Structure 1
Amino acid sequence: MYKNLLALVIIMACNACTQAQPGQLHVLNIKNAKELRAFFRYTGHDIPFISGHRGGVNKGYPENSIEAFENTLRHTPATFEIDPRLTKDSVIVLMHDATLDRTTTGTGKVSDYTLAELKQLQLKDVEGKVTSYRIPTLEEAIRWSKGKTVLILDKKDVPFEMTAKIIRDHHAEGHIMVTVHNAGEAKFYHDRNPEIVFEAFVKTPKALQEYEALGIPWTHIMAYVGPHNKPELQPLYEQLHQRGVMCMISAAPTYDKLPDAAERAAAYQAIIRDGASLIEADRSIEAAEAIQSLVPSGSSKQRFFGLR
């Protein structure tokens, strides 16, 4: 009993030491693509963490905004799934919807506006309240994120070649990943830039075989296995883990929507206990708090987590 109490005190002290102070952010210490691949390599003793869906959706901080990223990082280390779209003058901005109405003070299609026109709009938060924050460009987000976090680019209306070019031009392979829905998409990027790391849809053993058939290195893949934590995933987890691949479940369309906080916390914890290494969540801060007790001591991955 004494030993258990002492261990609890030590864990609490360690947790207290890693709390961000005012002005500090939790950061991921990843310097290049090689370190990014090491960060995502499954070891069986990894530190579970959160990927903020659309940057994390929290009251007062609009989705796909740099301010939302920073708000999450004040509470927890995280990666961020974001949504690049093209403006009328072919600039890439961050916006999930094809239209402006839900998340901004504007109306109509994103593609009908120039960047200068979009910069005049204000972003709305999850409750629809207007904030002072503006639509960021992908270039602004790439520059901001270096040395802090990893951005994962979802597939919207930006041509693949244009996505590959902006990563190459900014030498951003160490902190920008690309979402691919199948092995063919991964091959397109890998053939043009073998340093790019993917959030890859690998929901079935058949999909796994397709990535192998096209020669996509497993060292370059973090696997998205779907939005549901279910027993049928266990054989897929085993195959992916044997290949050194971390797996992710997205709680955004499922467990984030549970009405009870305790129920949500139990669901987040079960995702990690059952085999996933990270959770994509709208409720980025809440999900991170729920899985904090599952962080193992002495993980070699601790070197990637810091405060700045």
Structure 2
Amino acid sequence: MKTKSLFQSFTILFALLLLVSCREERTIDRILEEFHNAQSDYVMVAAHRAGHNGYVENSIPAIEHAINIGVDIIELDVKVTSDSVVILNHDRTIDRTTTGTGDPESYSWAELQKFRLKMPDGTVTDLELATFEEALNRVKGKAMIDIDLKTSNLKPVFDVLQKTGTLNQVIFFDSDFEILKEVQAYFPTANVMPRARSFGMADTALMIFDAPVVHIDDSFYTNELTQLIKGKNARIWINALGDQDRLINAGESDQALANLLDKGANIIQTDEPEKLIPLLEARGRRK
């Protein structure tokens, strides 16, 4: 009887583990299916510097919060230490974000671990700078990552992606087309997102890259641009950062969404993912 009971317990445990695994696969599979469908009405939401409202930007808790609220894409900024550890940090220095100072790429990983992350108001936490590998392992199977390349030392970034088996989940973002060419030389199937600063630059980017998404600015966001990008089966990434996020916070969400969506953009990066997601759901744009 004990043997039978033990067998049943193992069977139930295995079934639960299989269910969790399948659920995670379906999550990333659904997100990737939408990402590669440029004509979809589904609006993807990207959390800028992870879900950092109430959390430290580019931190593991902020990443976990972004996953929990259901974002599709988590934007992270990567740099590489002097001993080739890939870390998360937005600025040129660590002065604003940590108790340290200076360029993080001039430090070793062991040296950086002495510092602690700070909240936007300067409050010191007990958190260390996060590594890119830790972030990838937390996000694997649950969301995509937009890598904002803040380094020219790309090989350690590639090595971590290969180690974690997460290449299909990441987007490489840069306004420097030569950097994106280097990415595709190393990973021909990589998802690259060129940043365009004009209609002509978007046109050039689409001629150079088989890009699944193009990052645009609202200064040249037109129906003609939408037709160009979607005609190449690419999604259109636009930022709510700044003006549109302020409108959302001020209760003027209809105006903000009109500004963002009326010409066809279908990925929105925001500092307010907790507010944007339900607004889009209420309008049937995340079915």
After superposition, what is the alpha-carbon deviation per residue over 1:216-275, rounded to whole angstroms, capped at 9, x for unaligned? 22xx4211112x3x6742211111112221111112243234595213563145412431
Distance 1:137 1:162 in 2: 12
Structure 2 counterpart of 1:175: 169
> SS state of the match for residue 287, structure 1?
helix
Structure 1 counterpart of 2:269: 280
Change in CA separation of 1:202 and 1:26 when aligned onto 2, cut-off 3 Å = farther
Of 282-291 and 144-153, more deviation after overlay is shown by 282-291
Change in CA separation of 1:272 and 1:139 when aligned onto 2, cut-off 3 Å = same
Distance 1:263 1:186 in 2: 37
> SS state of the match for residue 69, structure 2?
coil
Change in CA separation of 1:261 and 1:236 when aligned onto 2, cut-off 3 Å = same
Distance 2:144 2:100 in 1: 29
Distance 1:282 1:232 in 2: 20
Change in CA separation of 1:237 and 1:49 when aligned onto 2, cut-off 3 Å = same
Structure 1 counterpart of 2:36: 41
Does 1:145 find its partner at 2:139? yes
Calculate the TM-score normalised by the size of structure 1: 0.75
Change in CA separation of 1:170 and 1:72 when aligned onto 2, cut-off 3 Å = closer
C-alpha RMSD of the superposition? 2.8
Structure 2 counterpart of 1:225: 216
After superposition, what is the alpha-carbon deviation per residue over 1:128-187, rounded to whole angstroms, capped at 9, x for unaligned? 322232211111111221111111111212423443343234332221221132544333
Does 1:129 find its partner at 2:123? yes
Task: Give the structure, 1 or 2, with the largest relative contact order (CA under 8 Å, sep 6 or more).
Answer: 1
Alignment of 1:19-30 (within 5 A): 29-30=27-28
After superposition, what is the alpha-carbon deviation per residue over 1:15-74, rounded to whole angstroms, capped at 9, x for unaligned? xxxxxxxxxx9997225xxx8764323453332131111113302x11001210111222
Does 1:57 find its partner at 2:46? no
> SS state of the match for residue 193, structure 2?
strand
What code does the residue aligned with 1:198 have?
V
For structure 1, the residue ranges without an aligned partner over 5 or more in a row are: 1-24, 300-308
Calculate the TM-score normalised by the size of structure 2: 0.80
Structure 2 counterpart of 1:189: 183
What code does the residue aligned with 1:114 have?
S
> SS state of the match for residue 54, structure 1?
coil
* Number of aligned residues: 265
User: Which protein has the bigger helix share?
Assistant: 2
- Tell whether the 8 Å contact from 2:147 to 2:171 is kept in structure 1 after alignment: yes
Of 171-180 and 158-167, more deviation after overlay is shown by 158-167
| Stretches of 4+ aligned residues off by more than 6 angstroms | 25-28
Structure 2 counterpart of 1:254: 243
Larger Rg: 2
Does 1:205 find its partner at 2:196? no
Distance 2:247 2:176 in 1: 30
> SS state of the match for residue 266, structure 1?
helix
> SS state of the match for residue 119, structure 2?
coil
For structure 2, the residue ranges without an aligned partner over 5 or more in a row are: 1-22
Does 1:76 find its partner at 2:82? no
Identity of aligned residues (%): 24
Change in CA separation of 1:231 and 1:156 when aligned onto 2, cut-off 3 Å = closer
CA drift of 1:109 comes to 2.7
Change in CA separation of 1:87 and 1:264 when aligned onto 2, cut-off 3 Å = farther
CA drift of 1:105 comes to 2.2
- Tell whether the 8 Å contact from 1:251 to 1:279 is kept in structure 2 after alignment: yes
Distance 1:235 1:116 in 2: 51
What code does the residue aligned with 2:279 have?
A
Distance 1:243 1:270 in 2: 23
Distance 1:26 1:287 in 2: 23
- Tell whether the 8 Å contact from 1:54 to 1:81 is kept in structure 2 after alignment: yes
Of 286-295 and 132-141, more deviation after overlay is shown by 286-295
